Structure formats: C-alpha cells, structure tokens
C-alpha cells in the first residue's frame, strides 16, 4: 500500500466541501518533460486526442461514449460517457500529478481506478488502454479551456472542474519540487466545486471543450480544402483539384451561415449507428469502380477524423468480430504487402482451421 500524500488528502477534503459560491482554486504543475509533451502536441490529429478521451471512458467501464461536435461550426466539443466517474480523490490525482497515472499501480487500487485483483485491468475487468495521467490533457490539441463534469454512483453531488491550460501571466512561473534539483512549471489553473444532484444512482463524466482554437476549428472544417477551391476559381492558371465527394459543408465565417451544403451519405433522421454504417457502405462503394481510393481526397478532414477515430477507438465492430464474419463459410482476412504499390490479397480460412491456429 502506498503512503498517502497529506497534500492530496487535504485537497480531496476541500473539493468534497467546495460549493459553487466557494470553489477550490489551484495551479496545475508539471515537470519539464510533460510540459513539452503537452505544449508541443503529442496528439497532433484531432482523432488522436478524441481517442484518448474515449479510451479513458473505456477504462472507466463505460458502455457508451457520445461525442458532440457542433459540426460544421465547431463552437465546442462535448465528450460524454456513462462510466464510473471521477471521485474527488481521483480528480485530485488528475490535477496534482499530471503525467503520473494511477492506472497500473497500487495507487490505482486505492482510488478504485483499477481492479483490486489486477492493476492492469479496470474495476470491471477490462484491459486498461488509456493514460489517466496525461491522456485527458490531449485536449490541448483543441482548446486551452475545458470543463470536467463528473459523478460517481451513490454520490449525492456531481463535481465540476473548470480547467484553463497555460500561464495566467506572461512570466514563466517555476516552482521547486520536493526532490532537490528538479523543477515544476505552472501549466494552468483549476477551479473545482460540487453541486447537489437528485439522482444518486447516476454516474459518468462529461468533458466540454470550450473556445476551440482557431487552427483546430479550421482543420476540422477543412478550411484549407475550401480555400484551395477559392484560389482555383480565381486563378485560371492554377492546377485544378476536385473538392471532396463527402463533406459536412462549409460555413461562411462572417455570417455563420452555410455557404456550401453538406454532401453526406446519411439523412437527418438516421441515428449515430445508421449514419456510420452508411458512411462505411459509401466508402466501400468507391472501390467498385476504382483501382484505389485515397480517403483523404474522398472525405473532408472531419469525416476523415471520424474514420480514423473509428479504426483506433475501442468500439465494437459494425458487423461483428472478424472471427465471426464469413463468406461462403470462410472468414475474411487480407494479406497486405509492404512493398511499394503492393496489393492486398484475400486469405480464406475455414472456421475449424482458424480456431486450430489461434
């Protein structure tokens, strides 16, 4: 069992007693290495940053994670899950020890982050995949200001953490660490309070990414793609490229109105699963009449991000596990060559022989 940190315990007690009119304020501190990883961007693509939030929801035994993007405006992004939520003690670990994950450690057992029997698994038995220590701060890709709204089952209060990344002053603040010769840097500010709730059984976490960075909004809105189209129209000599066949439309920045209508394979009446199924079907259809398809040209940046996220996030297969898929009784697998312009080839295994090999 690890030795409790008296400063952490004191902050946890302060958070439990905090109310909207008397929040707890504090500084985010981290060492130079973690500071560099956050500010330089270890999550360079929006899909990579969102994947970390989904992974943390998975590690919290969530059965559902909802991402609301407000596309194509991108005023804010919300990631909401029905996982276990963060207790004041876990939240204290998060804001006071950036880059030091409680997962896969004895500390995780004490905080209820991991299984009591196996520190590499969640309380519900899932293999841990996220990085509680720094994964949440992948949002630095999107914004410098976000909210964490979280609640654990049985708690009569939900906890709200208002977090701002970056120094409040232009001056670099250096704080001495307990270990001689090491330094910590001020990397942000937090304000935390608790609000009463009527549903004690409810649990989960909602992360609201506020005031999205202009470069992130432009990237998700494919501003580079549409600007290139404008340039080609204005310059007859410019090399012509086609706009993406699938896109979420284009917003007029001055008016906030749609200047170009979306070209999507789904309808407004379709639910999230139906929409993604139709996206998959549409992309598959492109391979019927083309030797190869460059999805980066077929899709705008937003749809490409969705596709990338779906490939990397811990979500169920649309059509079942690959071992359960079959074509005339055979499971579909592909051999992919790594040589230049190598082609993929279908490999067919009978179910019995596949199971014998696995």
Q: Give the CATH number, domain containing residue 159.
A: 3.30.565
Look at residue 187 in the predicted model and tell me its pLDDT: 78
Higher pLDDT, 210 or 36: 210
Look at residue 240 in the predicted model and tell me its pLDDT: 83
* Banded model confidence at residue 183, pLDDT cuts 50, 70, 90: low
**Pairing between β-strand 65-68 and β-strand 77-81 as defined by DSSP bridges:** antiparallel
> Of 38-47, 49-58, 115-124, 244-253, where does mean pLDDT reach its minimum?
38-47
Same domain, 128 and 77: yes
Burial class (CB in 10 A: 0-12, 13-18, 19+), 349: middle
Q: What are phi and psi of 159, to 5 degrees?
A: -110, 135
Which are the contacts of 189, defined by CB distance < 8 A and separation ≥ 6?
25, 26, 27, 28, 163, 164, 168
Look at residue 332 in the predicted model and tell me its pLDDT: 60
Same domain, 323 and 274: no
pLDDT of 242 > 70? The answer is: yes
Picking from 255, 253, 263, 252, the residue whose alpha carbon sits closest to that of residue 302 is: 263
Q: Is residue 1 part of a domain?
A: no
Same domain, 329 and 280: no
CA gap 219, 56 in Å, rounded? 24
Per-residue pLDDT reduced to its tens digit, 38-96: 555 555 678 888 988 999 999 999 999 999 998 999 989 999 999 999 999 999 988 88
Same domain, 155 and 42: yes
* Banded model confidence at residue 341, pLDDT cuts 50, 70, 90: low
**Pairing between β-strand 250-251 and β-strand 204-210 as defined by DSSP bridges:** unpaired
Same domain, 43 and 175: yes
The mean pLDDT of 7-35, rounded to a whole number, is 87
Same domain, 329 and 293: no
Q: How far is CA 33 from CA 37, 104, 134, 140, 330, in A?
A: 6, 21, 12, 16, 50
CA gap 263, 202 in Å, rounded? 38
CA gap 240, 210 in Å, rounded? 37
Domain that holds residue 20: 6-212
What mean pLDDT, rounded, does the chain reach?
Answer: 82
Same domain, 153 and 55: yes
Domain count, the chain: 3
CA gap 137, 140 in Å, rounded? 6
Per-residue pLDDT reduced to its tens digit, 307-330: 999 888 887 777 777 666 665 555
Same domain, 207 and 235: no
The mean pLDDT of 331-342, rounded to a whole number, is 67
Same domain, 353 and 281: no
Please, are residues 137 and 165 in contact by the beta-carbon 8 Å criterion?
Answer: yes
pLDDT of 124 > 80? The answer is: yes
Picking from 150, 149, 166, the residue whose alpha carbon sits closest to that of residue 27 is: 166
Give long-range contacts, CB 8 A cutoff, 24+ apart: 335-343.
Answer: none
Look at residue 179 in the predicted model and tell me its pLDDT: 47
* Banded model confidence at residue 349, pLDDT cuts 50, 70, 90: low
Look at residue 142 in the predicted model and tell me its pLDDT: 87
Same domain, 23 and 160: yes
Same domain, 145 and 286: no
pLDDT of 147 > 90? The answer is: yes
Look at residue 112 in the predicted model and tell me its pLDDT: 79
CA gap 205, 117 in Å, rounded? 25
């Amino acid at each position: 069992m690890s030795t409790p940190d008296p400063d952490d315990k004191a902050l946890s007690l302060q958070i439990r007693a905090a109310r909207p009119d008397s929040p707890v304020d504090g500084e985010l501190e981290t060492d130079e290495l973690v500071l560099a990883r956050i500010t330089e961007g270890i999550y360079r693509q929006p899909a990579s940053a969102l994947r970390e939030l989904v992974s943390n929801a998975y590690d919290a035994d969530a059965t559902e994670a909802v991402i609301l993007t407000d596309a194509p405006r991108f005023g804010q992004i919300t990631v909401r899950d029905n996982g276990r939520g963060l207790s004041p003690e876990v939240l204290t670990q998060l804001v006071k020890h950036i880059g030091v994950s409680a997962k896969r450690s004895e500390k995780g057992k004490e905080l209820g982050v991991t299984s009591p029997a196996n520190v590499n698994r969640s309380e519900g038995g899932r293999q841990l995949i996220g990085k509680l220590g720094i994964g949440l701060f992948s949002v630095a890709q999107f914004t410098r200001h976000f909210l964490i709204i979280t609640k654990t089952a049985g708690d009569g209060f939900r906890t709200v953490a208002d977090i701002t990344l970056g120094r409040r002053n232009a001056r670099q603040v250096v704080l001495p660490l307990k270990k001689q010769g090491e330094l910590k840097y001020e990397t942000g500010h937090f304000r935390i309070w608790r609000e009463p709730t009527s549903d004690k059984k409810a649990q989960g976490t909602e992360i609201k990414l506020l005031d999205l960075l202009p470069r992130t909004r432009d990237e998700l809105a494919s501003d580079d793609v549409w600007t290139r189209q404008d340039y080609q129209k204005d310059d007859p000599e410019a090399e012509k490229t086609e706009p993406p066949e699938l896109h979420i439309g284009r917003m007029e920045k001055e008016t906030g109105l749609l200047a170009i209508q979306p070209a999507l394979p789904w309808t407004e009446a379709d639910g999230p699963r139906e929409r993604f199924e139709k996206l998959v079907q549409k992309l598959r259809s492109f391979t019927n009449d083309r030797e190869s398809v460059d999805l980066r040209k077929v899709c705008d940046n937003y749809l490409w991000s969705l596709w990338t996220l779906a490939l990397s996030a811990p979500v169920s297969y649309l059509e079942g596990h690959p071992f359960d898929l079959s074509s005339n009784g055979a499971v579909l697998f592909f051999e992919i060559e790594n040589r230049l312009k190598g082609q993929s080839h279908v490999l067919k295994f009978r179910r019995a022989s596949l199971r014998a090999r696995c």
